[in-house]
Structure 1
Amino acid sequence: MAAGPSRGDGGTAHHHAPFLAVKDINKPPSRRMAGLYLVEPVLAVYAFSTFLNFPIVPQYIYRRLWQDLTNTTYSIDDDGIRCSANSSINHTNKQEEVQKAASMFYLYSDLSSIIPSLTVTLLVVAYSDYRGRKITIILPVVGCLLYCVSFLAISFFELNLYLLIVANCVSSLFGGYGTMLGGCFSYIADLCDDKKKKTLRMAVLDMVLGLLSGIASLSTGYFLRAAGFNWPIFTAFLFQGANLFYVIFILEETVKPADLQVTTRGSLHLPLRKMASAIYQIFSLASPRRKTLLVLTLLIFSTFTFTYMGGLATVTLYELNEPLCWSEILIGYGSALSTSVFITSFIGVFVFTRFLPNVAVVFIGLLSVMSGLIMTAFAKTTLLMFLVRVPMLMAIMPAPVLRSMLSNIVSKSQQGALFACVACLESLSTNVALTVYNSIYAATVAWFPGFCFLLAGGLCLLPISMLFVVWFLGPDTSEEAEALMSEDGSLPSV
């Protein structure tokens, strides 16, 4: 998730005197090492550690529920023998029961974490405009460390499985994935004034996120087969510990708290009021046309996130189910193959933004998502399940381009407030999507397991239709930044 910090071209503020020191805070001094302002390694390590656990969690839950509900040992194989050798009606009913139980488990887990995560994301990322970006990065790393410790204890001592829901809820109090992304993208926005450079840097973040998550997913299957559940979790814990050290002691801050101490003197409630006013200012001081573009772009981003994340929410369960019956090795291969989507999407952003308007780039990405999800709904063989990644090669392109479009609509002093809203919407859309699609999957797995993917593909028509409205309203959103900054640093009201 009244005026924010005001900046004048001459280095003096025309009003709101307490913000005099904000002028060039977001521009790192040239005499400092460029490496100290690299936030990409932070997101890379965070993604690797998180996605090292990401395929493990549903498999661990699935195996524990299988043992609890069927009173049998979960069979591990590489080629679907577990399904073909046990194709009786009784076995099929048991598998559907486990699928439904696992889906509902994810539903409860998501519901327990959605409100704390959204609240922390909105407050902390907006607060970073006044107290620095690093807090938005430190908190999610600490939350991930706590989750790793909890998961390791539950797995090692075979504690009650539902303690994982408690662990997920506690870790969400530190913001989680949405807070990390909001902080990292705000950090990049502080460093980049050029629009195309900003788009590319944000695309690099998305590519790093996908690349490291794919490497982690690929190694998870072999790691799990060789060492069980405990060692991958412990490895993730070590990486997050190193990440925390880097953020605290090495990464430079783009907004200096020492320069902004005067902003909180006099009232403990002042920071919260300024956060609320900064978010309000984004919309209240914009011209009607720019306000319409801002709202539409936010809606496109949130509906894209809802359809894409919702479509991916039940992929692991779908792969574990008949007729695929994938092992952890195949699941790792499938997750790793999805890494190519992030790489090709980055290449697509790099190439297409040179020749096409941002709206056209987003449109290509949405078509890629829709075609891939519809194809997934009818994937019944291992080969076809791998091939569904082909039409989705440009599926990530909308995310960095939409973030850059949004960033160019508001002033430099409002980047934290903007990305707080973006991160909050992203977390809300993701959590609602996980809740909705897991519920739908539990209700439809018996008669059509691919229904969720078909539904998600059809819902892609919503952001596509809104995108046409944005295109109809006039020039590309990236051009809206030309008249953003008035002399006092606020949005012009014309």
Structure 2
Amino acid sequence: MSCIEFTEPVVFAAQVASAFYDTGLLMVVKERYNVTSSNSSLTNSTDHGDNEQQTAVSDFLMIYSMISGFVPFLPAFFLARLGDKRNRKIPICVPLVGYMLSRLMLLFVILLQWSVKVMFGAAVVYGLFGGFSSYWAGVMALASAGSDETQRSIRLIRIELVYGIAGFIGSISSGHIFNMFLVSQHQGVMLVGISVFLYIFCWSYSISVLKVTSTESTPAILPHDQTAVNFGTTGPDNAPTVADGSSTSGTFDLISIVLLFAGAILYDVSVSGAMDILPSFVIKEPLSWGAEQIGYGNAAGFVIFITSFLGVYVFSKCLRDTTMIIIGMVSFGTGILVMAFVRKTYMFYIARALNLFALIPMPTIRSLLSKQVQGSSYGKMFILLQISFTIASVATSPIFTKIYQATLVCIVGYRTGRHGYTRLPSN
């Protein structure tokens, strides 16, 4: 498929909007449940009240995440098929409508003082339009179709770089914008309003500016009458080398795809499980972050996109794709292990710094997968991968959340056993 595509403006603007929304949602949820916990008659100590708030916030985020992940299953797959058969803009444009509507609902929650549980409905609306699964799979399919195999890893990580820079800018400014409204009930109006406007821009750009030609069924690997691609082996120009002739090339490719899917899913479970807990962790003691610090913390996470891009750019000249994947996984594992012992803000940033190559595995795995299938199947391949991530995340998110909550209870019990409760003064 030949195409003229400039997806970077969409990726950039959409991620800035997403960073604004993430900070706004977290702060609104934190404030609403802080009011609830502080007014509760069961709150008889600072530790108990803080634990109650954290349980409520983490439960909310868990349910919201599960709805956002589960609902897009069928819509995302349907949109991916349409993208492969008709126009690759479809799985990008349609989810942007869901983004706009769901973010608009958060704006109403702030302005009209609706219950924060309305956002569960917003997650359903977001999912019915395909959600992130459809949007990101569409972006990856379009980028893969418009790039040469030898440069595909760099092309995909470049998209991730734009995503990361946008997230960094959005995150680092989101806390300041959130605090611009001095009236507490309306804090976040400007932040979420800008987010909605940016999604409108992305949708308008995708509809009127983004141009893609019709899809052709061109193979992305060597023709069937030639030898199979040797999985994981690359030449000096990072192009796949050719294995010795074999009559089982189809089976070999299938095994490669299964192994790539398994590795990607296991890694994604580890990353998403840890990242889902971080927002609840940073707003409680010992860090007790506010809106600006949350923005800085999120921005530190997006710096990883830049360092991972540089890593792929350098490593791809001398290392195999599989070696780069292992480097990225070790980087993430080391950083998240240090994160488990964070008690000061500076320690958080040290742990984040150790994750500098943590984004390398995913675009590299997507690049390897795209070399195993025909160009007309990119959409289906990437949406199956994205849906696999979602299923795994939905299944494991409650596990991570409940382990986190149980750990909080144990710590509170230990502290109160040593120091006893301090009752709050009555009104």
> Partner of 2:365 in structure 1?
402
1:261-284 deviation line (CA, Å, top 9, x unaligned)? xxxxxxxxxxxxxxxxxxxxxxxx
2:320 to 328, 352, 357: 357
1:39 and 2:7 are equivalent in the alignment: yes
2:81 counterpart letter in structure 1: A
Q: Does the Cα contact within 8 Å between 1:106 and 1:438 map onto a contact in 2?
A: no
1:368 and 2:353 are equivalent in the alignment: no
- Secondary structure at the residue paired with 2:190? helix
Residue 286 of structure 1 and its aligned partner are, at CA, apart by 6.5
Q: Does the Cα contact within 8 Å between 2:98 and 2:126 map onto a contact in 1?
A: yes
> Partner of 1:61 in structure 2?
29
Cα distance in 2 for partners of 1:113, 1:182 equals 16
Summarize the alignment of residues 37-436 of structure 1 with structure 2, pairs less than 5 Å apart. 37-71=5-39, 90-192=45-147, 194-227=148-181, 228-255=187-214, 287-436=250-399
Mean CA deviation greater in 51-60 or 105-114: 105-114
> Partner of 2:2 in structure 1?
27
Cα distance in 2 for partners of 1:434, 1:56 equals 22
Cα distance in 2 for partners of 1:303, 1:235 equals 35
Q: Size of the alignment, in residue pairs?
A: 375
Query: Structure 1 residues 136, 435: closer, same or farther in 2, change over 3 A?
Result: farther
Residue 426 of structure 1 and its aligned partner are, at CA, apart by 2.7
1:60 counterpart letter in structure 2: V
Q: Does the Cα contact within 8 Å between 1:107 and 1:439 map onto a contact in 2?
A: no
2:73 counterpart letter in structure 1: L
Q: Does the Cα contact within 8 Å between 1:129 and 1:255 map onto a contact in 2?
A: no
Residue 256 of structure 1 and its aligned partner are, at CA, apart by 5.8
TM-score (norm. length: structure 2): 0.84
Residue 429 of structure 1 and its aligned partner are, at CA, apart by 3.2
Cα distance in 1 for partners of 2:314, 2:270 equals 25
- Secondary structure at the residue paired with 1:133? coil
Q: Does the Cα contact within 8 Å between 1:189 and 1:198 map onto a contact in 2?
A: yes
Cα distance in 2 for partners of 1:334, 1:110 equals 20
Cα distance in 1 for partners of 2:9, 2:74 equals 26
Q: Does the Cα contact within 8 Å between 2:11 and 2:163 map onto a contact in 1?
A: yes
Cα distance in 2 for partners of 1:53, 1:286 equals 46
1:227-262 deviation line (CA, Å, top 9, x unaligned)? 2211110001111111111100110024369x9xxx
1:333-378 deviation line (CA, Å, top 9, x unaligned)? 1111222211000000111111000000000000001001110000
Mean CA deviation greater in 338-347 or 419-428: 419-428
Cα distance in 2 for partners of 1:286, 1:123 equals 30
Q: Does the Cα contact within 8 Å between 2:82 and 2:90 map onto a contact in 1?
A: no
Q: Does the Cα contact within 8 Å between 2:84 and 2:215 map onto a contact in 1?
A: no
Residue 89 of structure 1 and its aligned partner are, at CA, apart by 7.4
Q: Does the Cα contact within 8 Å between 1:187 and 1:254 map onto a contact in 2?
A: no
1:438 and 2:410 are equivalent in the alignment: no
Once superposed, which parts of structure 1, at least 4 consecutive aligned residues long, lie more than 4 Å away?
Answer: none
Residue 427 of structure 1 and its aligned partner are, at CA, apart by 2.8
> Partner of 1:264 in structure 2?
none
Residue 181 of structure 1 and its aligned partner are, at CA, apart by 0.8
1:362 counterpart letter in structure 2: I
1:271-303 deviation line (CA, Å, top 9, x unaligned)? xxxxxxxxxxxxxx9622221111010111111
Residue 127 of structure 1 and its aligned partner are, at CA, apart by 2.6
Cα distance in 1 for partners of 2:14, 2:84 equals 23
Residue 322 of structure 1 and its aligned partner are, at CA, apart by 0.9
Q: Which runs of 5+ in 2 are unaligned?
A: 182-186, 218-247, 413-427
Percentage identity across paired residues of the two chains: 23
Residue 226 of structure 1 and its aligned partner are, at CA, apart by 1.6
1:69 counterpart letter in structure 2: S
Cα distance in 1 for partners of 2:215, 2:257 equals 28
Over the aligned positions, Cα root-mean-square deviation in angstroms equals 2.0
Cα distance in 1 for partners of 2:288, 2:71 equals 35
